[in-house]
Amino acid sequence: MTHDQFQVGMRIKQKLDEGDGPQWFYGHVKEVHPDRIVIKWPDIDEPIAHYQDEWDSIKVGNPGVE
């Protein structure tokens, strides 16, 4: 995704290669800043900042959207 596509409250997903192969992880955008996007992942207590080098690996998390 690009910076202008992120919106507070939107559901997103990110594919990570862990253990048994790639898996999708879902979260919600909490904050949008000029240099970072803050995402709350359900399995992590605190929201995590993601910077520009990670944005292309984040996708819209709605069902049926690739």
**CATH code of the domain covering residue 56:** 2.30.30.30
List the structure tokens of 29: 């955008």
Task: Look at the chain and report how many structural domains it folds into.
Answer: 1
In a domain, 66, yes or no: no
pLDDT of residue 65: 62
Structural domain of 10 = 3-60
- List Cβ<8 Å contacts ≥24 apart for 47-53: 52/3
* CA separation for the pair 2, 5 (Å, rounded): 6
Question: What predicted TM-score, i.e. pTM, was given to this entire model?
Answer: 0.85
Mean pLDDT of all residues in 36-63: 93
pLDDT of residue 28: 97
* CA separation for the pair 14, 36 (Å, rounded): 16
Question: Mean pLDDT score of the chain, rounded to an integer?
Answer: 90
* Torsion from C-alpha of 11, 43, 39, 48, nearest 10 degrees: -170
In a domain, 65, yes or no: no
Query: For a pLDDT cut of 90, what percent of the chain falls above it?
Result: 71
In a domain, 37, yes or no: yes
In a domain, 32, yes or no: yes
pLDDT digits (tens, 9 = 90+) for 13-40: 998 876 777 788 999 999 999 999 999 9
Q: Determine phi and psi for 34, rounding to 5 degrees.
A: -60, -30
